[in-house]
Amino acid sequence: MVTLLAASLLGVSAPNAPGTRAASATAATCAGLTLDVHPGVNRAGSKPAPASEAAPDAPRGSFSVSLPPYPEATPLSPWAASPYPETLLSAYLQTAGAEYQSSDSVTIVSAWFRSHLPACGWHTNGYWNGNASVFTAGRTFVSNANPDLSVEMSYGHGASDGSYIGYGVEWIIYPPRPAASYLHGPFTQVRIARRRPRNILPNSSLVQRVVHTTVRDRTEIRRLVSAINSVGGYHTVPALCLGGGAARFGGPAWLAFIRPDSSAVHAYEIGPGACLGLAVNSRRWLIDTGVVWKQILRLTRP
């Protein structure tokens, strides 16, 4: 079972403003609410999403997130509305939700979370307003410990000047990287072929050409191998993204790592990011954050 507490802080506090609750953060209050995520979008609060929404190799297991509960709030069942104003476009998204009601106003509740969640190891990553449901405002918080983990805090006006509180946890969890995707040397050379676009005439369309480079410097080879072996993210279903493919980054690139006995390990990179990817030894796709791609561009620079 994996339980992620964004931070464990003792005695962190902020001065109380008139009409607001105390915002002290302790390990107990930061972990007072624990939610278990499931693959896909958890729409009902307790049931996993349909399997069609999740990647077939999405990790199944016990993944829990600890969050601070609002003081004296009571659980809502059924939910007042969806706690997800929007969801991430990833087949590896896992979610969990919870909803509460409080006698305090939206102003007081939202101010409490704005001060309390940062003290528990989260930072703000945007806010929203709307009128599509009872939740009319909210704020996105991202874990300081894991950029793939966020919680949507949604607020709405309840009866008698009270409020509704929605927690919408979104966590992208990738499967483990296959052992066969790691490079094992030594290698005497790396042969790289990279497709590079170029304009022949002004305002003309791009023409693709392939440039070939052979790297024999052992230090450069070790640096490239180390970069590839350090990639942690892996998925078989790339994210759905807009904005161009390999040509946008100056690729793709084909690589052959040659051993002293002339055997080779092949790799192929479309480009960096979760929308593209890197394949090694036919295992795809590793999620290169740009570390590998920058080295490929440097090694194949004219």
pLDDT band at residue 41 under the 50/70/90 scheme: confident
Lowest mean pLDDT among 18-32, 36-50, 261-275: 18-32
pLDDT value at residue 249:
57
Cα Rg, the chain, nearest whole Å? 24
Query: What tens digit of pLDDT does each residue of 221-265 get?
Result: 999 999 999 999 899 987 766 555 544 556 799 999 999 999 999
Count Cβ atoms within 10 A of the Cβ of residue 7 and give its class: 0-12 exposed, 13-18 middle, 19 or more buried.
Answer: middle
* Backbone phi, psi, residue 70, to 5°: -75, 135
Count Cβ atoms within 10 A of the Cβ of residue 240 and give its class: 0-12 exposed, 13-18 middle, 19 or more buried.
Answer: exposed
Centroid of chain to Cα 231: 15
CA distance 61 to 79: 25
Return the half-sphere exposure (C-beta side, CA atoms, 13 A cut-off) of residue 192.
25
- Taking the whole predicted model, whether its pTM rises above 0.85 is answered as no
pLDDT band at residue 160 under the 50/70/90 scheme: confident
Count Cβ atoms within 10 A of the Cβ of residue 298 and give its class: 0-12 exposed, 13-18 middle, 19 or more buried.
Answer: exposed
Lowest mean pLDDT among 13-27, 128-142, 223-237: 13-27
Query: What tens digit of pLDDT does each residue of 69-116 get?
Result: 999 999 988 888 888 887 777 889 999 999 999 999 999 999 999 999
pLDDT value at residue 207:
56
Could you state, in order of their start, the residue ranges of all structural domains in the chain?
2-172, 179-299
Q: 6 or 198, which is more confident? A: 198
